[in-house]
Amino acid sequence: MNHGLMFSIIIPTYNRADLILKTVESYLQQNYLKFEVIVVDDGSTDNTREVLSAIKDDRVAYYYKENSERGAARNYGASLAKGAYINFCDSDDYVYKHHLSVAYKYIEKQSPDVFHLGHHIINKDKIERAENRTGILNEFNLKRNYFILNSIFIKREIALENKFVEDRKLAGSEDWLLWLILSAQYDIIGFGEITSALVQHEGRSMVQVEGAKTLARITLLNKYLEENVSMQTKYEKAIPVVFGSGNLLVALDFALEKNKISSLKYLFKSISYDPAIIFTRRFLAVLKHLILRW
């Protein structure tokens, strides 16, 4: 076991000066100390630099780069990492004080290639629900983008070999694509202890829905999966499950836009790929919006 720097925390950010400090400070309050925080400012035009310059801690490094989207920012941060494991985190989320100590406990026991801890979904400062599945999560992640960045840990060499796709048109699904590609190569182990929080708010990119853009990135995601040898080799028969999930997300976003015709089109398309999708929470959400809005 490497007893040097264990974790490199990569935090990309863009115009979140009002949120980034809480995210960084949540790592500085950890009760496990062998880590570094690499903040990659992806071309912010607000006062992010000034906010972060107030942090006087050698464990935090700030890098500014021209805007090129979150996938590129994460890849750049990973290229600078020195820790044995990389943990990404969005700049509007935060972690609890035991986040890294729990991760280290499992590393000592099993030295997993890729693993995922539990997290809370926070909405309006209240816990909306917990996500803390255990065991091998590979096939479960085919059904929806279950993993969140601040809960997942990846050995540095694996992260460097498997980068986020930097295509801007994929932004919003570049993380799910990476988790799927990793799932085709490694067991992704879920440990149920809850150590972090994903914060829902109006400014969050995944809350700002637009059906046409969602359709474009899901179409691109499918294209990358069809071209990926590892995915085709391991999950050839299960890939329709991914396609069904992606089309269901498109249906939901069109429903939120009150575009009933397009929503129904992709709802039926999702069922054609995966009939079991009618039992999912998202399917019920689409029906709810279709019924309530018309």
* pLDDT tens track for 2-45: 448 999 999 999 999 999 999 999 999 999 999 999 999 999 99
Pick the last residue of a domain from 200, 235, 270. 200
**Token pair recorded at residue 11:** 């935090």
Q: Which parts of the chain have pLDDT scores under 50?
A: 1-3
Into how many domains does the chain fold?
2
Residue 271 and residue 149 in one domain:
no
In a domain, 283, yes or no: yes
Residue 28 lies in domain: 7-200
Residue 146 and residue 91 in one domain:
yes
Residue 187 and residue 137 in one domain:
yes
Any idea what the CATH number is for the domain that residue 99 is in? 3.90.550.10
Residue 62 and residue 121 in one domain:
yes
Cβ contacts of 52 within 8 Å, gap of 6 or more: 20, 21, 24, 39, 41, 60, 62
User: How many helical (H) and strand (E) elements, i.e. helices and strands, does the chain have?
Assistant: 12, 10
Residue 39 and residue 119 in one domain:
yes
Pick the last residue of a domain from 167, 200, 233. 200
Residue 85 and residue 225 in one domain:
no
Dihedral angle of Cα 224, 183, 14, 82, to the nearest 10 degrees: -120
pLDDT at 208: 56
Q: pLDDT per residue over 80-107, tens digit each?
A: 999 999 999 999 999 999 999 999 999 9
